Amino acid sequence: MVVAFAHWGMLNGAQAATHCAHTSADLTGYLAAASTGGADNGQDNIIHLTSGTFATSGAAFNFSTTSGFALTIDGGYDGTCANQDPAPGLSVLDGGGTNQVFSIQTNGAITLSHLTIQHGLRAGSSNGGGIGIFLNQIQAGDPIPTAILDGDVVRDNSSDYASGALTVFAPSPNPDAHEGLVSIRNSLFVGNSAPSAGAIFIDLGPGSSAYLTNSTITGNTCYNLGCSITSLGDASGALNGFVSNTISYANTSTYDFFLYFDGSVEFTNDDFGSTKGAPATSSSGNLIGIDPKFTGSGDYRLTSMSKLLRAGNLTPAGGLPATDLEGNPRSIANRVDMGAFENVDVIFADGYD
C-alpha cells in the first residue's frame, strides 16, 4: 500500500514559495507569511532550516491556514540552504521548558522533517507538549488534510494534561467533515512525559488513517493509573491505524498502546509490550517485550546482538521509507530492521563470522 497525500495546492498546480531560515525570527516571519492573511498564503510553502537552535520566545512557533495549501519545514541545511545533511540533531527547535514548540492548524498538508523538537511544555490542554496539529477538513469531500513527520527527533517535551510529545486532532465544525491522515516514519520519541499519553496521541475521526512506521519510542513516561505511551483512535469514529516496524520499549507506563474501540489498528513486525482498549484488528511478525539491545545510553541504534535486526516488513502499510533517521538506506540486502535506525553493517548479516 502506498499513501497518496492530496491537497488543494497539488490540485491547483501552484508553485511553492521557498525560504531559508537562519534564526527564530526568520522562522516566525516565514510561518506568518504562509498563514492566513500572509503574503505567501495562496501557495505551497517550503521552509529550509539551517543548522542551529531555533528557540521559541514566549509562545509556540505558529502556523494557521484555511487555504488548503501545503507547508514543509525541513532541517539540516547549510548556510545558503543549498545542501542538506540528514543527520539528526542539526536543526533544533527548543521550547525552553516554558511553552509548546509547534502549534499548527491546517486543512492542507504539513510536513516536518529532519528536525529535533525538544523542551516543549503545554499546560492545561490536550494539545501536545512538543507539537500540536489540528487537521481541519472544512467540508466533507474536500481533500483530506495530512500531517507527516519524517526523520524527526521529538524529545524531552511534557504536558500536565494529555500527551507529552505530539497530538494530532481532526476536529471540524461540520460533523460530516473531520477526516485526516497522519504518517510518522523514521522518527525517535524519547524522554517525553504526560499523564495520559506519554508520547503520542492521534485522535482522528471516521475514515481517517494513521501510519506509524519504522519509529522508535523509548524512555517516555505517562503517570496516570492505566495510562499508555501512544493512543490511537477516536471515540466517535473508526480510525484505520497501521503500526509497522516500530519499537516501543522501556517506557514508564502501564501500556504501550491504547486503541479506541471504534477503530481498526494493525500491528506488523513491531516490538512492544502491551495494549489496552480494543483488540488489534490483526497482528503478525511482532516480537513482544524483546529487549532491542540499543547501543547505549542516548544511542538508540541496534547492536549486532539485537533480535530486531532484519526483522521488519519490507512492504508495510503506507510504504517503506527510502532512508532511515540518519539518511542511510532503509533496507539492506532486501531486509529491513525495526525502529528508526538501520544497521548498515552487513558483513555478518548471514549470521556467520
pLDDT at 349 over 90: no
Q: Residue range 328-348: average pLDDT?
A: 87
Is the CATH number of domain 8-302 3.30.70?
no
The answer to whether the beta carbons of residues 220 and 191 sit under 8 Å apart is: yes
Measured in whole angstroms, the distance separating CA 313 from the mean position of its chain's CA atoms is: 19
pLDDT tens, residue by residue, 294-304: 999 999 999 99
Joined together, the cell numbers standing for residue 72 give 514543509
Beta strands across the sheet bearing 146-150: 16-21, 44-50, 71-77, 109-113, 146-150, 181-185, 209-213, 240-244, 264-268, 282-284
Q: Residue range 131-159: average pLDDT?
A: 92
pLDDT tens, residue by residue, 21-57: 999 999 999 999 999 999 999 999 999 999 999 999 9
CA distances to 76, 150, 229, 265, 301 from 298, rounded to whole Å, are 20, 20, 19, 30, 9
